[in-house]
Amino acid sequence: MSRLLLVVVVLLATAGAVVAYGDPKRISEAGDAMSTMLKKRVAAATASAAAGHGRTVQIPRGTGGEFALRAKINGVSAPMVIDTGATSVVLTYETAKAAGLPLEILDFNVDVETAGGRTRAAKLSLDSIAIGKLVERSVPALVVPRGQMKTNLLGMSFLDRLESWEVRSDQLRLHGYP
């Protein structure tokens, strides 16, 4: 989409130069100046992305093969494990309580399958989840009853909001939108 917009801008600039100058030599100079400017912008954007100035977080693989991290849930630090098999972010009761979520009004009416077996969970929306430079707001999540899980899961309701994520050389890279 941005390339199409760029082409349209170049065409409009060239048409404007034809109307404004009317001189083929000056039109050619204006086109060259525009090309040089665009090349510099593309080179600067490419260099910035290559230097890692985008919103990217790298997480090393743990000794058990998992990708564990510390996230801030509504501003409260909590351990989490990346789980691409989890449809949603899933919080333990204890983490939800520490994050100040309204546990007393939650309705535990969603059937879920965990590593420990079947249980019921409550739906809610987290104000924010932050992992390094990546911050997502209004993230759908589930909370399980006290004692039903030992680990918070960073599932697809968070991962689907990212531009991309990949695993390379025992590193999970989360890429946010610029």
Per residue in 20-30, pLDDT (tens digit) is 566 777 767 76
Q: Which residue's entry shows tokens 């924010």? A: 128
pLDDT for 5: 53
Structure tokens belonging to residue 68 = 């564990």
Instruction: Give the tens place of pLDDT for each residue, 102-161.
Output: 999 999 999 998 877 899 999 999 999 999 989 999 999 999 999 899 999 999 999 999
Mean per-residue pLDDT for 42-60? 62
In angstroms, what is the C-alpha Rg of the chain? 24
Structure tokens belonging to residue 99 = 């994050």
Give dist(CA 167, CA 61) in Å, integer. Answer: 9
pLDDT for 90: 97
Give dist(CA 80, CA 91) in Å, integer. Answer: 9
> How many C-beta atoms lie closer than 10 Å to residue 44's C-beta?
10
Whether the pLDDT of residue 48 is over 50: the answer is no
Q: Which residue's entry shows tokens 């390339």? A: 3
Give dist(CA 160, CA 155) in Å, integer. Answer: 9
> How many C-beta atoms lie closer than 10 Å to residue 134's C-beta?
18
Whether the pLDDT of residue 88 is over 90: the answer is yes
Q: Mean pLDDT across the chain, nearest whole number?
A: 83
If residue 167 lies in a helix (H) or strand (E), which one and from where to where?
A: strand 164-168
Question: Which band of pLDDT confidence, cut at 50, 70 and 90, is reported for residue 17?
Answer: low
By C-alpha distance, which of 136, 157, 160 is closest to 91? 157
Dihedral pair phi/psi, residue 79, rounded to 5°: -75, 145
By C-alpha distance, which of 136, 177, 178, 133 is closest to 154? 136
Give dist(CA 114, CA 143) in Å, integer. Answer: 12
**From 1-10, 67-76, 120-129, 134-143, the region with the lowest mean pLDDT:** 1-10
Question: Which band of pLDDT confidence, cut at 50, 70 and 90, is reported for residue 16?
Answer: low
Whether the pLDDT of residue 1 is over 70: the answer is no
Strand partners, 70: 79
pLDDT for 71: 97
